Amino acid sequence: MYQKLEECPSCKHTLFTNHLICTDYSISQESFALVRCNKCGLVFTNPRPDEKNILEYYKSDQYISHANKSNSLINVLYKFARSFTLRSKYRLIHKYKKGKRLLDFGCGTGHFANYMSARGWDVTGYDPQMESINNLKIKFIDNIQKISSEDKFHVITAWHVLEHVHDLKGTLKLLRKQLKKGGYLFIAVPNLNSYDAKHYKNYWAAYDVPRHLYHFTQSSFKSLASSCKLSVVKVHPMKLDSFYVSWLSEKYQGNNNVLSAIKTGLKSNRLARSSGEYSSLIYVLKA
């Protein structure tokens, strides 16, 4: 079943403009329409599969963020980049920490959660696709709403997760509720205003329809955060994402041109030095 949204998931405005038609190149080959809210600028997939039916679009080893089995070149490089990114995330969080209780919301295969646990953090993981969680050395929960006030977190992370959830504002408000006083929320999402997004257009891999339901600019994300009584303290880049996304985008165009992907990734990062519009961004938020 498909849901057709009559209101913007962020601001509830009812007027939209057609943005793009994108294809699910990685799994189903189906096409999906994206619209832009005329008020807050949020781009979202509309209509979209409902919460039950969208699970069919995750059932493939091609969905790399939950797959560990593939030995393809792109997956090998993805794992290499992941090691670098884990260290970067750890250093970033360490700058803001007020304590060591951490919830990794959408923990996937658990690499980040395990990494933080091995460095002395008290980590809890949550992922709606529980079958993807294996060999974790951490606690995990299946219902965030059951967390008691005594068990709230100093840090909550959501790495490329928010764009997947059907209840956008409800999820963000729930995460805010689970933060201890003075705690921080780290949310990473693709950036619709990046050079690679504009370069690849409907082939941009970070559209990832229909799994990605929302497509943020800095402005639309900050508007969403504000409506959920969260303030953006700082925005940090994820510089490796431009290369990975560009490589997948080249593949979707039928080129599979690694050199072209590297050039686009480099150009995206170079232009972002002045604009701040990197391929993916980490938003640091406080209640």
User: What confidence tens digit (pLDDT) does each residue in 81-101 have?
Assistant: 788 899 999 999 999 988 999
Say how far apart CA 118 and CA 141 lie, in whole Å: 19
Cis amide prior to 9 (ω within 30 degrees): no
DSSP 142: S
Q: 67 pLDDT exceeds 60?
A: no
Determine contact, residues 60/89, Cβ cutoff 8 Å. Answer: no
Say how far apart CA 210 and CA 81 lie, in whole Å: 25
* Per-residue model confidence (pLDDT) at position 49: 97
Determine contact, residues 223/172, Cβ cutoff 8 Å. Answer: no
Average pLDDT over residues 38-48: 98
* Per-residue model confidence (pLDDT) at position 132: 55
Q: pLDDT band at residue 62, thresholds of 50, 70 and 90?
A: low
What's the whole-number average pLDDT of the chain? Answer: 91
Residue of 210, 199, 213, 206 whose CA lies nearest to 263: 199
* Per-residue model confidence (pLDDT) at position 79: 74
Residue of 35, 6, 32 whose CA lies nearest to 18: 35
Residue ranges with strand state E in 199-238: 214-215, 231-238
User: What confidence tens digit (pLDDT) does each residue in 194-227 have?
Assistant: 999 999 999 999 999 999 999 999 999 999 999 9
Enumerate domains of the chain plus CATH numbers. 65-195+217-286 (3.40.50.150)
pTM for this model (two decimals): 0.92
Angle between helix 241-252 and helix 73-96 axes, rounded to 10 deg:
150
Say how far apart CA 219 and CA 232 lie, in whole Å: 11
SS3 sequence of 118-140:
CCCCEEEEECCCHHHCCCCCCEE
